[in-house]
Structure 1
Amino acid sequence: MPCNIPRQTLTNDTLVQQWYESLFRSCGRYSTLMHSDRSFEGVLDIHHQDEVCVSTISTNAKKITKANPDADERVDDHHFVVLQVKGQSHFEQMGSGVTLEAGDVTVMDQRYPCMMEFDGMSEQISVQIPTHMMIDILGASCPSHAVNIQTRYGSGFALRNYLVHALNYSTRKSHSQLTVQNNLLTKLLGEALSIDKSFLSNEDSQSMRLTDVKSYAIKHIGNSELSMDDLAQNNALSRRQLYRLFGRESLTPNQWLKNLRLALASDLLLDKTQLDRSVADICYVCGFKDLAHFTRSFTSHFGAPPARYRKDKISR
């Protein structure tokens, strides 16, 4: 069953204790070394579904350490795939050291002692994959220490794009997409670690390319000039290839992009921190060129014009 730990900023002894409890649930038995000259800050979210767990950690701690292997602790019998979102961190495990900047990815085995050292405020998102799944696909080559994955080009770049898209989607909505495609994730890991270049089937490759296209669209959602040619060219596709990719979704690229913008508009309209934002402002932030067109599209999709939709939903 899904398990969600609410986001909390920890500012006193009670909340620090909650930090340790959440850290244990997410990572196992770790100790946290805090700076003596500053207040501790730590935010930890955990989401479970099936065998895959997604964690978001943001902290200004000096160091997090696991001193001893806990072979009897089932919670530790997994690998971490870590995406550094902000700041810098340094991992050490089994004599191997890895330094991560924003956008870097590493994989590490949680069954063994390790140390994570942070430079200022650091934010990471990680996927915990059961070790048996890693061994099934990587065999004896499954890494037992922290390994850095280059993400500037090739399969490492594809892995990073997949993580960014899947994690952004899953932490915002649900983890179904990540869970359904966890086999693709492990295959991409194998490819990025140069274990076996034959892992990716044609279907997996197409899923990966579609993820790249969606990641680009999400990043540029506010650009009202974003065209199908832009989506194709910036992902090394022809226009025909782009439309064939979206055939898997039973939508054209235009329809998918329009639905994405309408979903974002709905979220902003109902966000209580955005109530001072006008409908027109939300229209343009979501990449619509024309308020009248936005209103017609929104009404057709949600059954009410934006202003009334906001009023009716928030008053309930």
Structure 2
Amino acid sequence: MTQPASLISRVSTAHLDPADRVAAWEEYNRRALVGLKCSPYAEQGLLATQTNVRFGALRMADIAGNEHVIERTSAACRALPKDSVFASLVLSGEAVFYHGRGCLTLGAGELVVYDTRRSYLFGFAAPMRQLLVDIPRELFAEVPSPARFSADRSALRALRTLLESVAARPEAVADGADETALDLLRALTTGGAPPLFAAKDYIDRHLGDHELTPARVAAAVGMSARHLGRLFAAEGDTPGRYVLRRRLARARRDLADPATRHRTIADIAHRWGFASHAHFTRVFRAEYGHPPTDLR
């Protein structure tokens, strides 16, 4: 079974006056992807293309260009907030990725996963192409620091094949391709990841389980419930509060989605692990300052 990926938008700077290309590129990205600043380094100015598609819960940008640097500054993070995790796969060229804790270098076939709420700089010293997956934060575990993954990882090879097929034939994307992509990204990011990251990932994949408890999470990732509690406490949190926030975020997304208008608030609450409609309404209002009915 297939469900076509929907084309969101497409842009090219080739037809623009060289003096206008950077401003046009920055404005397009602000609207379609993320707020950033761009600096070209080729004599002919910025020559770049971008195609944005949606498949399932994910968006993907297919970006190609000549030598340039893009930067998401701290000021841009504040003025143009973006609450996503980005997974950027370099298909050709080489890149450097600067962030608050250091610098990563990437070659063709390598991937970097990072948080759009934090500043970064992405530089390309030669013609490049990348596939960038835009993941809503509520679908993925927290990314405490940008992480690079090498091209020889089997999960990354499978992810590359999937993303290239979405880019090449968006009209024939397999049903569930977004979940497959998320599963592959989770396999990459949790393989050898810190225990807290693995615990959060397990929670995020089992939010609809009404039997989800700290003890169950701890057992799934190979630690005691007490140790799990200490890991969350180091962030000023608890496993229970984390589960509640993530469940509320998923429910809120469904409530705001026109595709789920046929489902009742009680159905959506139950889907995301809330046994009581009254309890769901109470904690939703406490978290967001308004009742869930405001989204209907």
Larger RCO: Structure 1 or Structure 2 (Cα < 8 Å, ≥ 6 residues apart)?
Answer: 2
Name the CA shift for 1:27/1:188 in 2 (closer, same or farther; >3 Å): same
Q: Is the radius of gyration larger for structure 1 or structure 2? A: 1
Name 1:84's counterpart in structure 2. Answer: 90
1:112 is aligned to 118
1:179 & 1:144 partners in 2: Cα distance?
31
- What is the alpha-carbon distance in structure 1 between the residues aligned to residue 42 and residue 155 of structure 2? 40
CA-to-aligned-CA distance 1:177-202 (integer Å, 9 cap, x gap): 36713233233223222245997xxx
Q: Distance in 1 between the 2:137 and 2:7 partners?
A: 20
**Which runs of 5 or more residues in structure 2 are unaligned?**
203-296
Matched, 1:158 2:162: no
In structure 2, do the counterparts of structure 1 residues 26 and 94 end up closer, same or farther at CA, with 3 Å as the change threshold?
farther
| Structure 2 residue matching 1:144: 3-state secondary structure | coil
What's the TM-score once normalised by structure 2's chain length? 0.56
TM-score by length of 1: 0.52
**Cα gap change, 1:126/1:171 in structure 2, threshold over 3 Å: closer, same or farther?**
same
The one-letter amino acid paired with 1:66 is R
Indicate which of 184, 208, 219 corresponds to 1:188: 184
Letter in 2 for 1:4: I
Match of 2:73 in 1: 67
The question of 1:172 aligning with 2:172 is answered no
Q: Residues of 1 paired with 2:129 and 2:22: CA distance?
A: 18
* Number of aligned residues: 188
Contact residue 42 and residue 61 of structure 1 kept, 8 A: no
Please list the CA deviations of residues 20-70 of structure 1 after superposition, one character each: whole Å capped at 9, or x if unmatched. 222223431100112274422111111124431110111224311011253
What corresponds to 2:252 in structure 1?
Answer: none
Paired position in structure 2 for 1:145: 145
Match of 2:127 among 117, 121, 144: 121
* Deviation for aligned residue 1:175: 6.6
Q: Evaluate the alpha carbon distance shift between residue 7 and residue 28 of structure 1 in structure 2; reply closer, same or farther with a 3 A threshold.
A: closer
Is 2:30 the partner of 1:30?
no
User: 2:22, 2:38 within 8 Å by CA — same for their partners in 1?
Assistant: no
Partners of 1:146 and 1:169 lie apart in 2 by 26
| Offset of residue 146 of structure 1 | 1.8
Q: Is the 8 A contact 2:11 2:51 kept in 1?
A: yes
SS at match of 1:120: coil
Query: Is the CA contact 2:93–2:129 (under 8 Å) kept in the aligned structure 1?
Result: yes
The CA distance in 1 between the partners of 2:42 and 2:61, in whole Å, is 26
Corresponding residue of 1:133: 139
Whole-Å separation in 2 of the counterparts to 1:179 and 1:113: 34
CA distance in 2, matches of 1:26, 1:111: 16
Cα drift, residue 86 of structure 1 = 0.8
Runs of 4+ displaced beyond 6 Å: none
What value does the CA root-mean-square deviation take over the aligned residues? 2.8
Call closer, same or farther: CA 1:45–1:123 in 2, change over 3 Å. same
Report the alpha carbon displacement of residue 96 of structure 1 after superposing the two structures with TM. Answer: 2.9
Give the aligned partner of residue 101 of structure 2: 95
Distance 1:92 1:113, change over 3 A: same
Alpha carbons 1:96, 1:146 under 8 Å: kept = no
Q: Distance in 2 between matches of 1:144 and 1:26?
A: 25
Cα distance in 2 for partners of 1:162, 1:85 equals: 14
1:111 Cα deviation (Å)?
A: 1.2
1: distance between equivalents of 2:171 and 2:163? 8
Q: What is the CA–CA distance in structure 1 between the aligned matches of 2:64 and 2:51, rounded to whole Å? A: 9
